Amino acid sequence: MNTTLSNLATRTLYGLIFAVAMVGSMLFSQTLFFVLMLFFVFEGSREMIRLHNSVKFNPNERTVFHSNAIPPYLLAAAASWDLISPQWLILWIIPLMLPYMHALFSKKRLASTILLVHWQILFFIVLPASLMIFLQQGRLPENTSGPFVLLTIILLIWVNDIFAYLTGISIGRHKLFSRISPKKTWEGSIGGLLASIGAAWLIARYASWINPETAIPLALIIVVTGSFGDLIESMLKRQSGIKDSGKLIPGHGGVLDRFDATFFSVPFAFAYLYLTS
């Protein structure tokens, strides 16, 4: 019991520290949020490489992966700050092509392995981190973005996680995807979805930055896509034979453990907000 309470205290303490750092930078400092996301891109890329631990990538190979992750994020950040024209974002085609060059000149690795790791890093980490910068800085028209809209997305994901867990341990009976995540249930997923929709309605009712017509479909999109992101990361960990993607946050794991649902859902949330703006 003492060990359990100690673990719970550790998770709670570091979870609060992480939440304060995340929300504080999101709401009050574009520079700090940019730096935080830059760190997440680097650390998340490292964890994604680790998830393929059956392949022992050497330091030079790891450098190639990181070199293909950081520049597109910096490019997107520069465009979001109007340091360069958004037209320069066409250069994103380079990191999409570089995996082929890496595979072509690699003598030890299967091309499919190299391409897989590159594209997982780009789609699962770099793209959402870049879009979060655009959302935080309010780059979408007609007030459909900004720090509070991004905070709403994060809160809806957290609400879904919390209530899916509470509902699952209370009344969960039917497994959602037992092959990948034995503890997740349909009851828990439905409970998380309903709680998120309720939270979206409450936020929209009293907030000026989003309305119910936008917030409720947004909650649905976030929960569904975020659940896929959670399952996909669980699949990668299970196939790699590891419990956590990293050890960044004691009691919580790594960047991918904490942001799998967020990173996977942000591109879909961004697309929805863009199309409805």
Mean pLDDT, residues 91-107 taken together = 92
Report which of 276, 262, 268, 230 is spatially closest to residue 26, judged by C-alpha positions: 262
DSSP bridge pairs for 181: 177
How many C-beta atoms surround the C-beta of residue 23 within 10 A? 15
CA distance 172 to 266: 28
pTM above 0.85, yes or no: yes
Question: What is the rounded CA–CA span in Å between residue 242 and residue 209?
Answer: 41
Region 226-244: what's the mean pLDDT? 86
| CA–CA separation, 57 and 69 (whole Å) | 16
| pLDDT per position as a tens digit, 8-51 | 566 677 778 878 888 899 999 999 999 999 999 999 999 999 88
3-state secondary structure of 188: helix
The C-alpha angle with vertex 28 and arms to 27 and 30, in degrees rounded to 5, equals 90
Q: Kindly state the tokens that stand for 32.
A: 């700090």
Total domains, the chain: 1
Backbone φ and ψ of 268, nearest 5°: -70, -40
Residue-number span of the structural domain to which 171 is assigned? 2-276
**Cα 221 to the center of its chain, rounded Å:** 14
41-95 residue pLDDT tens:
999 999 999 888 767 788 888 999 999 999 999 999 999 999 999 899 999 999 9
The per-residue pLDDT for 1 is 46
The answer to whether the beta carbons of residues 197 and 160 sit under 8 Å apart is no
Q: CA-based angle 194:191:178, to the nearest 5?
A: 135
